[in-house]
Amino acid sequence: MSNFRIFAPLAIVMYIIVPFLFSGNDYLMGMIATALIIAGIALAWALLGNLGGMVSFGHAAFFGVGAYTSAVLTMDYNVPVFLAMIIAGFGASLASVFMMPALRLHGPYFALAILAYAHIFMILATEMTSITGGAAGLLSIPNLPVFMGFDFGTKLGGYIVILNIVSLALVVYHLIRRSTYGLALKAMHDSELATRIVGVPATQLKAIMLVVSAFITGCVGAFNAHFINFLDPEYAFSGEWTVIPIVAAIFGGYRTLSGPVLGALFIYLADQLVFKSLLPQGHQLILGALLGGMILLSPSGLLPIITNMFKRFSKKGDAQHVES
């Protein structure tokens, strides 16, 4: 199934139908925007996992660094919000450079090393009180601005900004994936030696992916800071910013392009809008069972199930067309 056949309907739904139907409902728009925040991190995480085979437990670090960078730049240095969000991406990329020594590790060792780095960043944010406000955090972080007459500080405006960030991340991911760099990175997932022996600088490519993944996550973190206008280290570097996107990516299909986005939308919205009302205390249990079931029944995730259904449906349609 071509990427266009997946993206075209998805883009129509997200850019036209969702704003048209729900723009008046701030609660729902906020909810969908939060799902897209998770989608952005899930996509960045999957980029690292799919292209290069690295399992990161430290994306909360990039998210937190991005959030704090943008918040401090806008509050203390009056940098315009959108510019600060881009610089925040570079800030997160810079943070990822400190994690480069971990690239020599593989599998669980890499995952644990990255987790340790994430904790270090949280401690730094707590201790550097003069910059980050310490454990008390930062209040009154500037809202997303009015730009070309449109107020991005509203729930609808925020939704459009995060949707654009996720869309750009998808485009970047797609371009990387279809290049020869992408082919080499994809191959490194299961057969790193096979790539090294033909001249692929595997560690350098993985480093580039780490920087790109951190940049995307940093921008998403920055967006979140301006969307909720508050930060503290416990929140910004919370393990939830790692775990939920991983669950979403695996649920949607982390080796596919749009699987992590679909996974995040499904997981977060189903959890908040359905499971929570069914089981107010412990609604995450349903989510856990759902993920377990998905891994057992379709380890490749939700997207392959959907694409197979489409294929079957179109085959049936073709057959009926031939018969008639």
Partner 1 sequence: MLKVKNLSLNFGGVKALQNVSFEVREQEVLGLVGPNGAGKTTSFNVFSGNVRPTSGEVTYDGHDILKSSMHKRVKFGIGRTFQIPQPMHELTVRENLMVSQRFGRPDKKVDQQRISEILDSVNLLHKSESDAATELALTERKALEVAKALATEPSLLMLDEVLAGLETTGKKLFMETLKKIRKQFNLSMIVIEHDIETISNLCDRIVVLNFGKVIAEGTPDETFRNPEVIRSYTGEENA
Q: Pairing relation of β-strands 138-139 and 146-147?
A: unpaired
Placement of tokens 């959108």 in the chain? 82
- Return the number of the residue (100 or 128) whose C-beta is nearest partner 1: 100
Cβ 299 to partner 1 shortest distance, Å: 15
Cβ 203 to partner 1 shortest distance, Å: 9
- Return the number of the residue (188 or 265) whose C-beta is nearest partner 1: 188
- Residues 25-84, interacting with partner 1 (CB under 8 A): none
Q: Does 128 bind partner 1 (CB under 8 A)?
A: no
- Return the number of the residue (25 or 204) whose C-beta is nearest partner 1: 204
Query: CA-CA distance, 54 to 47, in Å (whole number)?
Result: 9
Q: For residue 147, what is the enclosing H or E element?
A: strand 146-147
Give the total residue count for the chain.
324
Assign 139 to helix, strand or coil.
Answer: strand
Which of 140, 180, 277, 324 is the binder for partner 1 (CB under 8 A)? Answer: 180
Q: Which two tokens stand for residue 227?
A: 């969307």
Quote the DSSP letter at residue 316: H
- Return the number of the residue (47 or 125) whose C-beta is nearest partner 1: 47
Q: Tell me, what amino acid is at 188?
A: M
Assign 24 to helix, strand or coil.
Answer: coil
Q: Does 270 bind partner 1 (CB under 8 A)?
A: no
- What separation, in Å, do the N-terminal and C-terminal C-alpha atoms of the chain show? 25
Binding mask 202-231 for partner 1 (x = CB under 8 A): x-----------------------------
Q: Does 183 bind partner 1 (CB under 8 A)?
A: yes
- Residues 186-205, interacting with partner 1 (CB under 8 A): 186-187, 189-191, 193-202
Cβ 180 to partner 1 shortest distance, Å: 4
**Total residues in contact with partner 1, by rule CB under 8 A:** 18
- Return the number of the residue (60 or 185) whose C-beta is nearest partner 1: 185
Q: Vertex 159, ends 144 and 238: CA angle to 5°? A: 80
Say if residues 28 and 197 touch (Cβ distance below 8 Å): no
Placement of tokens 């500080």 in the chain? 153
| Residues in touch with partner 1 (CB under 8 A) | 180, 183-184, 186-187, 189-191, 193-202
